Amino acid sequence: MPERIHLSRAHVTTVEEELVLEAMRSGWVAPLGPMVDRFENEVAERVGVEHALALSSGTAALHLALLHVGAGPGRVVVLPSMTFAATANAVRYTGAEPVFVDSLADDANVDPQLLLDAVDQLIAEGSDIAAVVSVDLFGRSADNALLETELARRDLPLIEDAAEALGAHRSGRAAGAFGLAAALSFNGNKIMTTSGGGMLLSNDTALIERARYLSTQARQPAAWYEHTETGYNYRLSNILAAIGVGQLLRLDEMIARRREIRQRYADTLGTIDGVRLLGRGGDPSDAQDNCWLTCIVLDPQQHTASVDDIVADLSARGIEARHLWKPMHLQPLFAQARMFDNGVSQDLFRSGITLPSGSELDDAQIDRVVGAVQAHLTGVRR
């Protein structure tokens, strides 16, 4: 069998190797150092925010942002149901109650009007909302400009989960630049990686200073180890930051390759009746996306193929594909959580497939994926 094709594998070159070697030879083999400082400054400049804090994960960034706005027991955080569990888990870490909102059919991002209606209903019912979290799915920014404006009118903070969207932009602003704070992820499968890591972004100096303090075990400025409250071990190491510096140098190159891959899928699978590319049917097009992952959605009226069967078939052919995120309100962990439902996220989960999209993939590998999907759909199509 030919080499397995992965969904989104880390794409690392000699650029990153040389920077890691430089970091090691500097002696800063620790959670602090010049590569951490450089990485924070360069990401902040890229996104267009004043401050960045390099952390162990995007989840840690969300957790610290939510703590800053006072999320905790007796309070509510409103967030999309269609997301990776990390977004909702960060809410649970604080003890706050997650309340979920459904998606837009075109790109799976949260339905902004449904979210605002949910917020207004919760306020009318007397709920104490600590924050609203938006999520930029699959490398495409949600309508954060609208949410930012409307939530400010309601005196509510917006926190942007931009874990999947570094390099994307919308309304003239980069993903990660909206709201009070934003979280990035550098997990191994993201548009760029530090092998594991994340970053908290904000223009709020006090927020970043407080998060920096909490992320280093809340150590007080004393000559000995002095602690007055619970802290967290959330900092990113100097070695991992060196990988991030190298990846950031290559970010535009990697986005360009993922864009080529998406276009290849559009030119082949996107021309099949009853198959659409997620996010390509509306306005704006994917020209502003970082094209992290390309997803197709099947029309159940035209295709009897189940997503389960297609994913299993591709796996048997040595190709990794996955369902779209299973909505949080369908997860057993959050079965009791409140949901403002329009049915879209559930339909997308049942009919959507995420295809291999990594920037290290060559054209022949993408053609293998296309051929396998075409063969399956042709075999079971009505």
Q: What is the mean pLDDT of residues 122-140?
A: 98
Could you give the domains of the chain?
14-246 (3.40.640.10), 251-378 (3.90.1150.10)
Question: How far is residue 238's CA from residue 43's CA, in Å, rounded to a whole number?
Answer: 15
Q: What is the DSSP letter of 140?
A: -
> pLDDT value at position 280?
87
pLDDT reading at 101 higher than 50: yes
Owner of token pair 């397995």: 4
> pLDDT value at position 30?
79
Question: How far is residue 284's CA from residue 109's CA, in Å, rounded to a whole number?
Answer: 13
Q: What is the mean pLDDT of residues 41-65?
A: 98
Tell me if residue 69 falls in helix, strand or coil: coil
- The active-site residue out of 169, 190, 257, 280 is 190
pTM beyond 0.85 = yes
Q: How confident is the model at residue 281 (pLDDT cuts 50, 70, 90)?
A: confident
Q: What is the mean pLDDT of residues 38-64?
A: 98
Give the helix/strand (H/E) hosting 3: none
Q: Which of 111-115, 151-155, 324-328, 373-377 has the lowest mean pLDDT?
A: 373-377
- Minimal CA–CA distance to 137: which of 157, 182, 107, 112? 107
Asked whether 327 and 349 are in contact (CB, 8 A), the reply is yes
Q: What is the mean pLDDT of residues 103-117?
A: 97
Q: Tell me the per-residue pLDDT of 223-272, one tens digit each, with 9 for 90 and over.
A: 999 999 999 999 999 999 999 999 999 999 999 999 999 999 999 999 99
pLDDT reading at 276 higher than 90: yes
Q: How confident is the model at residue 25 (pLDDT cuts 50, 70, 90)?
A: very high
**Tokens representing residue 71 in the block:** 């999320």
Tell me the pairing of strands 198-202 and 275-277.
Answer: unpaired
Q: How confident is the model at residue 287 (pLDDT cuts 50, 70, 90)?
A: confident
Q: Which of 125-134, 183-192, 300-309 has the lowest mean pLDDT?
A: 300-309
> pLDDT value at position 304?
84
Helix, strand and coil in the chain, % to nearest 5: 40, 15, 40
Measured in whole angstroms, how far is the alpha carbon of residue 127 from the centre of its chain?
27
> pLDDT value at position 382?
47
Asked whether 207 and 181 are in contact (CB, 8 A), the reply is yes
Could you confirm whether 190 is annotated as catalytic? yes
pLDDT reading at 68 higher than 80: yes
> pLDDT value at position 91?
98
Alpha helical stretches, state H, the chain: 14-25, 34-47, 58-68, 85-94, 112-124, 144-153, 205-215, 238-249, 251-268, 307-316, 344-351, 363-380
